[in-house]
Amino acid sequence: MDRPTLERALQSVAAQTRRPDEILVVSAKGCGHRPLPSELNAIPLRLIEPGQPLQRADAGNALLAAAEGDWLNFLDDDDEFLPNHLQTLAAVVEQDSAGLAVVHSVAEVIDAEGRVRQHLGAPFQRLRQLDCGFIASFGTALFARRLLDEGVALDEHFPILEDMDFWIQCAARGRMHFVDQVTYRYHAADGESGIGLGKHRDAEGIADALRRLRIKWSDLAAEIDASPAQRLLRAQQALQSGEDASALRLLRDLLAELPQDVNVLNLTAVAELRIGALDRAGALLQAALRIAPGQPAIRANLQLVQQKLRARAAEHPGAATQSPPPPSPAPSARSP
């Protein structure tokens, strides 16, 4: 967009400890881009001028069509590479490129005052593709040109989050390798796309883009929705919303499938506690502690259950006062 930050972005490329073969800049603003030199620190530089304004996806595709390298890397004009970025990612490619599609790293997120707010980036998780940008920023990833020959492209139907759609396409065609190292600086308060920090963040636009992703990738969305992790998340959300009965139905079904899962045992116990089923809650927590003896949250929940059992016994002296009996190795989630 020919913003003042372009100079900073270009200088960060020129300062790489491993030099790229070429630098391409596309004028997404259309006409009137300032002239750029034909090389930068002896790296060939080309300015692509389409003659008309381009949206994010169209601008990216123009770059992809013009690029000649075997491995490519985007860089927004308001962000920057740290000096070790290309060297760090290229080292992975050189070591083992068989079946490799993408190598990605960690970005430090910079706020309007120039402070590092957080670090973003995580290993690829298939079941988080529609709700988590596991690749922190478009520029943190080096990807194989061969993907373009297989039909990978930026989808112009996404005014934002086109990068999430792009990585879903890439992940279906090869390995995603995460390098747990900060190599990128994401100036989240500078961008105007709607996905950064502060006044430019467009929560409504982000929600709409996520909805579009689920529609486009409906098979993946159905797989994610049916996964235990997503069902457990829905149960947590139901408990937080006070929908205890709904949460318990989800959790009992999950527990029937995963009777040794500590998280499922613990959360089901919380739901049973909510409806006053103290004996069942205690049995589930004891089972969880046998699997994870040192888990403080589970111990705290069990103490709460035992307190309530003692209080109930004090109120009804004729009732049994013993602690909950040890559960069977695989407690049934379908008991009444």
- Check which CATH number belongs to the domain holding 81 and give it: 3.90.550.10
90-127 pLDDT, tens digit per residue, is 999 999 999 999 999 999 999 989 999 999 999 998 88
Distance CA 114, CA 163 (A): 25
Note the pLDDT of residue 270: 95
pTM score, two decimals? 0.79
DSSP track, 181-241: EEEEEEETTT--SSSSSGGG--HHHHHHHHHHHHHHTHHHHHHHHHSHHHHHHHHHHHHHT
Distance CA 183, CA 187 (A): 13
Shared domain for 204 and 239, answered yes or no, is no
Give the CA distances from residue 56 to residues 141, 192, 256, in Å, rounded to whole numbers and listed in that order.
Answer: 17, 11, 47
Give the CA distances from residue 160 to residues 54, 108, 225, 260, 299, in Å, rounded to whole numbers and listed in that order.
Answer: 13, 20, 23, 41, 44
8-23 pLDDT, tens digit per residue, is 999 999 999 999 999 9
Give the structural domain span for 280. 227-315
Shared domain for 194 and 49, answered yes or no, is yes
SS3 content of the chain, % helix, strand, coil (to 5): 45, 15, 40
Shared domain for 31 and 154, answered yes or no, is yes
Note the pLDDT of residue 294: 84
Shared domain for 213 and 232, answered yes or no, is no
Entry field: residues in the chain: 336
Shared domain for 76 and 201, answered yes or no, is yes
Q: Which helix (H) or strand (E) holds 176?
A: strand 175-187
Shared domain for 38 and 95, answered yes or no, is yes
Note the pLDDT of residue 22: 97
Distance CA 215, CA 177 (A): 27
Quote the tokens at residue 93: 């490619």
Q: Backbone phi, then psi, for 334, in 5-degree steps?
A: -105, 10
Distance CA 105, CA 232 (A): 29
Residue 328 has pLDDT above 90, yes or no: no
Distance CA 228, CA 254 (A): 7
Shared domain for 18 and 151, answered yes or no, is yes
Check if the beta carbon of residue 184 is closer than 8 Å to that of residue 106.
yes
In a domain, 327, yes or no: no
In a domain, 92, yes or no: yes
In a domain, 325, yes or no: no
- Structure letter (DSSP) for residue 34: P
In a domain, 33, yes or no: yes
Environment class of residue 196 by beta-carbon count within 10 Å: exposed (0-12), middle (13-18) or buried (19+)? buried
Task: Tell me the pLDDT of the chain averaged across its residues.
Answer: 90
In a domain, 324, yes or no: no
Note the pLDDT of residue 264: 96
Shared domain for 109 and 257, answered yes or no, is no
Average pLDDT over residues 225-250: 93
Q: Which amino acid is at 159?
A: P
Number of domains composing the chain:
2
Residue 68 has pLDDT above 60, yes or no: yes
End-of-domain residue from the set 217, 248, 279: 217
